[in-house]
Structures are given as structure tokens and as C-alpha cells.
Amino acid sequence: MSAADAVAQIKDGMTIGIGGWGPRRKPMGLVRELLRSDVKDLTVVAYGGADVGMLCAAGKVKKLIFAFVSLDAIPLEPWFRKARQAGEIEVLELDEGMFQWGLKAAALGLPFLPTRVGLGTDLAELGGLKTVQSPYDDGETLIAMPALKLDVALIHANRSDWRGNVHLFGPDTYYDDWFAKAAAKTFVSCEELVDRMEDHYPGEAHANIFERCFVSGVVHMPYGAHPSSMPPSYGWDMKAFKAYAAAAKDPGDWAAVADRFVGSSEEAYLESIGGKEAVAALPLPIF
């Protein structure tokens, strides 16, 4: 399907999960298509980066459930910061482990999962989370992390076939598999699209980290992670991130810069940043 086809299935008020991790392997092409739409009042669930910042800046977020919103080298995502400091969004801030546990509870069809993560912090109290007591002899008190149920998940993959068999590469696949399993519908954008994965890459089935039954649609979108990184194909665009962060400084009017960072179409956006060749040449960051 096209990106517009996928975004057309996202309605006002839905809860959407966005895969990737900060400035790494974000489905930015799908996020940009969402930014071009009229959808609003979303609950966004993410280990956030520019995806979250742009959606907040555009006024599309009603509530944000997050573990962090960062561009790594720019520790606090600037447009998210503006929205939160202005009180424009509701928030549920979680520890990274609590967040993961919430996705897993949803994926397993459970109302919650017990965890020690978050005990002794203000996160549980501020988030209105409840505790449960172990029914066994230990009697331990644990946080009951509620399921983070998603209406839609958006994920960017290295490779997919039209049936939704995906391949994810790089040193870390983050928690994209749990986003997919926690969602009623998952839409995957990909760098490479083939007809049947087993015919083209029979020796790489290990890269398929979640089953195709969790995928509702596939969008062929080469370089669709930009400006985030897409290991091992290309790195993040720190020059673009710095320009994006600079635009958030006062007065920081998103409407004045949206076309620069979103574009009228994905083709126009890629052309504005130097084309696919410029993205392909971005070096992978070294940590």
C-alpha cells in the first residue's frame, strides 16, 4: 500500500505506537505522512525522538506515553520540550523497563504485568499506577504495569515482502516486535520490498523477529528513516537534527518551518535534503 493508504486508517483519538529508539530507525516517512494529514487528538506511545517532537509541534498529540524523548547528541528533544513546558499535552512518563513491560502485557493479551521496575520512584505515583501483592509465600509487593494497548503501530524495517515478512538488521532491533504484537494493526515501511522473502533471502529467516500475522500493510519507502539512522544502511543526519533543533528556539513557530522538515510529499522532502544519494552516504555513528 501507499503511505497515504496506511495513514488513512489512523483516526482521530487513536492510540498509536511508533517503533525505533530516539534518533534510530524511526518510521519517519510514515510520520511525515501523518503530519500531512488532518488526524488529531492522538495518544502516542514511543521511545521518542523527532517523531514525537514533530507530532507535538504540529498539535496532533493529546497524550504522550514515553520513556524518553531524545535525539541522543541533543539530549532533550526540543519541540517536545516546548510542548511539555507549555502544558499542551497530557503525559505518562515511564521508566524504560516499565514501558517495555506495558507493551509486553498488551502483546500477551494481559491487563497488566507485575514488575519491580519503578518501585521506590515517583513514576508509579505520578502515573497513577497500582501495586499488587504476590499470592505466594514471599508476599512481595510489585507494580502492576498496565498494558499499553495500541490501535496502530508504525515500524520501519530494512526489508519486507508484500505479505508482511520483515527483516530487521543492525546491532539492536529495539522493541519493534513488541510494538507490532501490542497493536490491533501494524503498518511497516521498508527500505527494500520483495515479493516472497523465502525466494530471495532463504538464509536470513533469523532476521524476521515477528510473524507476518501481526502486519496489516507494507509501504515501500526507501530512506524512510531519515533523519534517524537505519543500520546498517545509513546513519543519522546530525546536520539535519541540529537545524531542526535550532528552529525550535524562540519564537519556534512550527507552521513557519513545517514544510522544511516535512515537505509536501516524501519525494519533495528527499529532494530538499539532497536526494537519496545524500542519505545513503550518511556514515553510521560510532559509540
pLDDT tens per residue across span 94-124? 999 999 999 999 999 999 999 999 999 999 9
- Give every CB contact of residue 102 below 8 A, 6+ residues apart in sequence: 65, 94, 113, 145, 146, 147, 148
Averaged pLDDT score across all residues of the chain: 97
**What sign has the CA pseudo-torsion 12, 15, 3, 48?**
positive
Neighbour tally for 259: CB within 10 Å? 12
| Angle, helices 254-261/50-57, rounded to nearest 10 degrees | 140
Neighbour tally for 82: CB within 10 Å? 18
At 287 the pLDDT is: 78
Q: How far apart are CA 266 and CA 46, in angstroms?
A: 22
Q: How far apart are CA 40 and CA 54, in angstroms?
A: 13
* Whether the predicted model's global pTM rises above the 0.95 cut: yes
pLDDT per position as a tens digit, 242-272: 999 999 999 999 999 999 999 999 999 999 9
**pLDDT(286) > 90:** no
**pLDDT-above-90 percentage for the chain:** 98
Q: How far apart are CA 247 and CA 78, in angstroms?
A: 9
Q: Residue for cell digits 506511545? A: 45
At 276 the pLDDT is: 96
At 37 the pLDDT is: 98
Over residues 21-44, mean pLDDT: 98
The DSSP 8-state label assigned to residue 145 in this structure reads: E
How many angstroms separate the Cα of 251 from the Cα of each of 79, 108, 190? 12, 45, 36
Contact assessment for residue 215 and residue 24, using Cβ atoms and an 8 Å cutoff:
no
**pLDDT(137) > 90:** yes
Under the banding of pLDDT at 50, 70 and 90, the label for residue 136 is very high
